Amino acid sequence: MFPLAFYTEVLESLQRGYEEKIKGDNLVLEINSSKYAYNVSMKEVNSLVIKAMLSLPAIITPVKSIYLLIWYFLTKLILLSIYQSISGNKEYWAALLPIVKHFKPVLENYLKNNQSQLDSLEAMEEYGVHHAELAQAVFQALHFLYEQDVLSEEAILEWYENPPNDPSALKTFRKFVSLTSKFTWKHMYFIYSTLLYFRFSGETVY
């Protein structure tokens, strides 16, 4: 069963945390308090913190503020129409990037090990599948968290190599996790080391 009350509190905490620039430690305390109040698992915490963060652009974008009350009382199908009103991945990512940056300390607190990172990756994939029009921007968030060392290469590769049974994932979110991206994650260190070798050996690489 989807812990809607817990998710709503997390969403409210993150919204207020972003708008009032509350420090990550204080937000973690709030989220943990809600966790114990609603008796949710750590897997659910890891998943719903990610989903709430990805949902924030639809709430905090000024022209969307009239939808705030709708967010809390209507169904998931209505929420989808709100996201569709944000015109594409570019605008969504422009709104999402500063949010992800602000909540980096919160994510670092929860995504400390391989399993918690897998929980978050599965949540991002599920979100990207359910909001296919935003899947590319959600993938950009994944890649940003990798570059910021919040998500590890090992966790990403384990997640990538174990796709879900849902075939729509391959047509939406996972299509952006291309072979090029996988190659980059898996072999960047080798490429970097090779370039350093040529640089210090005096040879020129074209």
d(C-alpha 127, C-alpha 94), whole Å: 18
Work out the average pLDDT over 125-150.
91
Greater confidence, 175 or 82? 175
pLDDT at 171: 75
User: Which of 19-33, 54-68, 159-173 ranks highest by mean pLDDT?
Assistant: 19-33
Mean pLDDT score of the chain: 79
Report which of 136, 139, 17, 131 is spatially closest to residue 82, judged by C-alpha positions. 131
d(C-alpha 72, C-alpha 84), whole Å: 17
Structural domains in the chain, sorted by start: 4-201 (1.25.40.180)
d(C-alpha 182, C-alpha 179), whole Å: 5
pLDDT at 63: 42
Work out the average pLDDT over 58-69.
55
Maximum CA pair distance of the chain? 66
**Do residues 124 and 142 make contact, with C-beta atoms less than 8 angstroms apart?**
yes
Residue 109 has pLDDT above 90, yes or no: yes
d(C-alpha 174, C-alpha 184), whole Å: 16
pTM (predicted TM-score): 0.75
pLDDT at 187: 52
